[in-house]
Structure 1
Amino acid sequence: MASSTVTGPAQGYTYSRPSELAGDLLGLSTSGGTTAAGPREHPRFFSGLLTRAAPAAAALLAVADVAQTRYHQPRPTSFRDPVVTCNGDRLRMESFSACCGVYARLDVLQPALDGEVHERGTTNVDVNGPLREALARVGGDDPLHLAVGADELAVTTLDGAVVEKKVPLPERWLRGFAEVQVITSGFDPRAELPGPEAVRFLRGLRTGQAGVLWAVPAGRGLRITSRPGPGAVCLAGPGRLRTMLPLLRFARALRAYGPAVTARSGPVASVWELELPGMRYVLALSPETHRGFSGEGAVLDALATDEAADDAELLGALLSFEPRVEPDLLAERAGIDPGRARAALTQLGTAGRVGYDTAEAGFFHRELPYDPERVTAMNPRLRDARALAEQGRVTLDAQDAAAVETDGGSYRVRFGGDGASCTCRWWTDHRGGRGPCKHVLAARIVRGEAVR
């Protein structure tokens, strides 16, 4: 029987034998998947019809295009494997760019599905050359049958069928999935453009333009500027939205999400959502083209909280691949207050067990092949902070201050209503914009706010 393993830089799968075509029998080896009832050796998630074939095929191709693109320092890269989750009333297909600076998700919603949900769960699939060619031939009147099962994402058109096997999930993707949900869960809607304005805005972008730009409301549309201001949405590298261009013939609306900014704000992440018939295509962009979500450090505070870690274990047992996770309901079922439930959801997000949907302002359940034992290894700042705390390098001067001794010098950490600050170079350079430094994390651990 196949098993999942963690080796080298990727967390992937092993198979009992390779897939093969023998005569008219296509044998596909599988490593199983995760469902609401637990691990399954041969799970079947969905089989049926995508009622809007052309936009679904084009959007799936867009998700695949992101997965094989390196937007920062472009160079040839191999195909990557989108993650597919069946949440019962919808299918979510997610991927990251090779540089980890762009997150893509296609939500195929109930109006676009006509079939049978066999189980809810998560798997990953390879969308490479043969499948891409089959999807490219799908027209508006072609039927599109979709099966997400133990070892396949099968797309059937009038021209025949193509089946692709599952392939490994890179470790940087795991870190990126964790970071992007923590970052985007603090976003609010900033702009909404109807279909014609969405087309005009996206086609008007200079996709070859580099640097950080800002989109500000202007009438019924958006205007690009070089400086931020109230209501603006960061757009670092307009070319990172180019996978939306083939979808514009189906576009019904474009929505932008981001944090509140001022005229003095630096680059921040943003989310761009294209509404299609019965589905949504979503892109999250990192603050700058050279910055990948996997290195943002937004998860470190959540990873450093004892109470949230304990609550996350409790809430994790209550999740059942819901399309929308309700914190208040989970809190009631778990017997904890809603604030603790939300902190626990953030903790679950650091393990890739929940994602965040800005359109519905809510979390959703998914399961990734994430090894908790590798959390520290994947977050060196957290590893170094734990070492500083364990070695007695942190001295609490007062309730709101601490001294942290390292081999490179002594640093002063202060806690206030707006968060924590430090005298180290990391904090001076980033001002908390890329997560806390190791000195702040170490001080929080010693203060009793952090980690096991």
Structure 2
Amino acid sequence: MIPETNTISYSYPVPSVFIAGGAPRLLLAGYSETEKATGPAFFQGSLEQPYITARCLIALSNVVRSSFTLTPATAAMMKDPIVTTGAEKLRFEGFSQCAGVYARVDVLPGGHSGSFPASGTVNVDFNQPMINALHAVSRNDTLQLTVNAREISVQSQPTERITEKKVPLPVKWIKGLTTVQLFLAASEKVHTLNKVQLRQLFQGIPAGAVKTDYYLTVRGNRPAFSPVKAANAVCVGGIHRLRLLEPLLPLADELQVFVHPDMQSTTWQLYFGNVRFSLSLSREAWRGFSGEGAALDSLIADVPDRLISAMDKYGHVNQEFNATLLAVEEQAGFEEIDQLTTRLAAMGLLGFDLDDNVYFYRRLPFKLNRIMSLNPRMKDAEQLLAEDKVAIISRQQDKVEARVAGSGVTHTVMIDGDMARCTCTWFAKHQGERGPCKHILAVRKKIN
């Protein structure tokens, strides 16, 4: 059962360690709620761009510590990033306290020199002493990295030891991680900016917190932000959040901008050779990814346990999810595989790589049945069905009209293919921008 505080407490079996002197080593302690036993190391080796990677990890930590809607007291709570290893890549992920900013550091092949004895996903310890140690990494240093709790116990002769304490893991992180991947999968690249253009663009970010939308346009070779909407402009809400990228700008080779078709999110991806830093912003600063409801539609269709099990095994072995290959191997239809893909992303098993345009396998360190229970609108829809409050009035091909009994009022739901409308106040307020209401969900599930 999820605690009423909406946090999940966990502790690390051993402390994370940064060992200075000689060849510095960064040893990241991990905790998995689903895998209690210590397994083999996920990664052992060195980072080929230690200075760049250290700065990217510091920037990721800055995102995790930031908040654009919460009170200072709430925002002061420390949270730890998540690390995934597999397919010769290291991926560090984190959210801002308000869950409206998502960041990821990808160390790509060529950005490290080492081995991957096993693949997996763990929470890692990034407390203040660890951040201080990363700040101390210079351009001429080498940095050894070990990801896994067992390796920390082996490398326990501390020149400098950092002790981890119990920390809360917000439920909104779990929900945000499932939602942001669906947004990323739908996004398209719209701009690529070089070093000069990058400096020009960020000079135009206004000071202070910005409550109105700004728009990114490129005229000639010069990009610019403007409060005035223009044709083909990229809408950016809460533009002041982009300042989280400023410490990395002098080091970056280029910036690529990706946009969701409905502009519900934008992603800003910096490149540093074989290291990549991504920053995704929700449409508005006050609205986090955890409340978007983008995953709700993917939870309507029932997916056979056989396919979920097959994908779990396939993803664990391959670390990247190729829907076409899985469809052929399992003799399943592509529509069924598409439903499986979105459902697994909603469960947190899949992240999304914009450059490779593929999902990568990520087993979040949370119980999957808990993740599936984190959608109150879906639970309300199930209750409406259980209480027999959904009546189908007419159905002709893809067009459906239904009545859903509410508290003293009956709502009308109209569905025409992928379009749906409801007479409830939720739909009137959000117009589908934050996912379907419980009445639409209930009707879709009834006719599914």
Task: With the length of structure 1 as denominator, give the TM-score of the two structures.
Answer: 0.87
Q: Call closer, same or farther: CA 1:28–1:201 in 2, change over 3 Å.
A: closer
Deviations 1:56-106 (A, max 9, x none): 000001111111111224514121110000013110000011001001000
The letter for the 2-side match of 1:257 is: F
In 2, Cα distance between the equivalents of 1:438 and 1:236?
Answer: 27
What SS does the corresponding residue of 2:366 show, helix, strand or coil? coil
Tell me if structure 2 keeps the 8 A contact 1:207–1:237: no
Tell me if structure 2 keeps the 8 A contact 1:214–1:234: yes
What SS does the corresponding residue of 1:289 show, helix, strand or coil? coil
Q: CA RMSD in A?
A: 2.8
Of the candidates 30, 54, 57, which is equivalent to residue 51 of structure 2? 54
Counterpart for residue 234 of structure 1: 235
1:369-448 → structure 2 map (5 Å cutoff): 369-375=365-371, 377-399=373-395, 400-447=400-447
Counterpart for residue 79 of structure 2: 80
Tell me if structure 2 keeps the 8 A contact 1:233–1:258: yes
Q: Call closer, same or farther: CA 1:413–1:235 in 2, change over 3 Å.
A: same
In 1, Cα distance between the equivalents of 2:30 and 2:65?
Answer: 23
Counterpart for residue 176 of structure 1: 176
Consecutive unaligned residues of structure 2, counting only runs of 5 or more, are: 18-26
In 2, Cα distance between the equivalents of 1:220 and 1:410?
Answer: 55
Tell me if structure 2 keeps the 8 A contact 1:199–1:251: no
Counterpart for residue 362 of structure 1: 358
In 2, Cα distance between the equivalents of 1:331 and 1:423?
Answer: 39
In 2, Cα distance between the equivalents of 1:401 and 1:317?
Answer: 41
Q: CA deviation at 1:292?
A: 0.7
Tell me if structure 1 keeps the 8 A contact 2:99–2:290: yes
Larger mean CA deviation between 333-342 and 304-313 belongs to 304-313
User: Would you say 1:122 and 2:121 are equivalent positions?
Assistant: yes
Deviations 1:422-448 (A, max 9, x none): 11111111111000000000111211x
In 1, Cα distance between the equivalents of 2:96 and 2:11?
Answer: 24
The letter for the 2-side match of 1:397 is: I
Task: With the length of structure 2 as denominator, give the TM-score of the two structures.
Answer: 0.87
User: Aligned residues, how many?
Assistant: 427
Consecutive unaligned residues of structure 1, counting only runs of 5 or more, are: 22-26, 262-266
User: Would you say 1:66 and 2:67 are equivalent positions?
Assistant: no
Deviations 1:341-396 (A, max 9, x none): 12211101111110112222211100112333334542111111111111110110
Tell me if structure 2 keeps the 8 A contact 1:28–1:151: no
Tell me if structure 2 keeps the 8 A contact 1:303–1:309: no
Q: Call closer, same or farther: CA 1:56–1:250 in 2, change over 3 Å.
A: same
Q: Call closer, same or farther: CA 1:426–1:73 in 2, change over 3 Å.
A: same
Q: Call closer, same or farther: CA 1:188–1:122 in 2, change over 3 Å.
A: same
Larger mean CA deviation between 99-108 and 240-249 belongs to 240-249
Q: Which has the higher contact order (CA 8 A, sep 6+)?
A: 2
Deviations 1:267-305 (A, max 9, x none): 621111111121110011111000011111111111111
Tell me if structure 2 keeps the 8 A contact 1:121–1:321: no
Deviations 1:85-132 (A, max 9, x none): 001311000001100100100001111101122211111112111110
The letter for the 1-side match of 2:422 is: C
What SS does the corresponding residue of 1:217 show, helix, strand or coil? strand
Counterpart for residue 24 of structure 1: none
Q: Call closer, same or farther: CA 1:217–1:39 in 2, change over 3 Å.
A: farther
Counterpart for residue 220 of structure 1: 221
Q: Percent identity?
A: 31
The letter for the 1-side match of 2:258 is: Y
In 1, Cα distance between the equivalents of 2:280 and 2:313?
Answer: 29
In 1, Cα distance between the equivalents of 2:81 and 2:190?
Answer: 28
Counterpart for residue 290 of structure 1: 286
The letter for the 2-side match of 1:215 is: L
In 2, Cα distance between the equivalents of 1:153 and 1:61?
Answer: 21
Q: CA deviation at 1:10?
A: 2.6
In 2, Cα distance between the equivalents of 1:434 and 1:28?
Answer: 36
Q: CA deviation at 1:40?
A: 4.4
Counterpart for residue 258 of structure 1: 259
The letter for the 1-side match of 2:185 is: S
1:300-311 → structure 2 map (5 Å cutoff): 300-307=296-303, 311=307
Larger mean CA deviation between 432-441 and 276-285 belongs to 276-285
What SS does the corresponding residue of 2:421 show, helix, strand or coil? strand
In 1, Cα distance between the equivalents of 2:28 and 2:190?
Answer: 45
